[in-house]
Amino acid sequence: MTKKNSHTKLSEKIYAQGRVVIVLGVCAALAVLITYVLYNYTQVLLKERLQERLIAIVSTAAQEIEPNDILYVQSTEQLYSPQMENLVNTLSGIREANPDITYAYIMRRTDDINTF
């Protein structure tokens, strides 16, 4: 074998190995990109489903709450009134019906736009 032929074969091996490294690099980059896209899509989908579930729970709960009870309870003097007891029982029922719900609140508007 001549020196030129061995040098040519060595160059071809290096070229072939370089191509393999490039193909593997492109495949790795593609895998990272696909993983990122699927992760973001899954996050958006989970958020949308959670929002839909919360809206369904809140819509159902809102029908169970008596507006007059909320209007009656305006200060700490009414904390032990039957209206407040009704509100607390309703919120407890909502929490019992939905085990994933840790806290249930009723908020109302106040004159201060930064306070509910």
For 11-57, the pLDDT digits (tens) are 777 778 888 999 999 999 999 999 999 999 999 999 999 999 989 98
Which of 1-15, 81-95, 100-114 is most confident?
81-95
Mean pLDDT of the chain: 88
Q: Which residues does 116 contact at the CB level (< 8 Å), separation at least 6?
A: 107, 108, 109, 110
Count of other CB atoms within 10 angstroms of residue 69: 19
**For position 74, what pLDDT does the model report?**
84
Which token pair is 23? 């193909």
Which token pair is 37? 């896209």
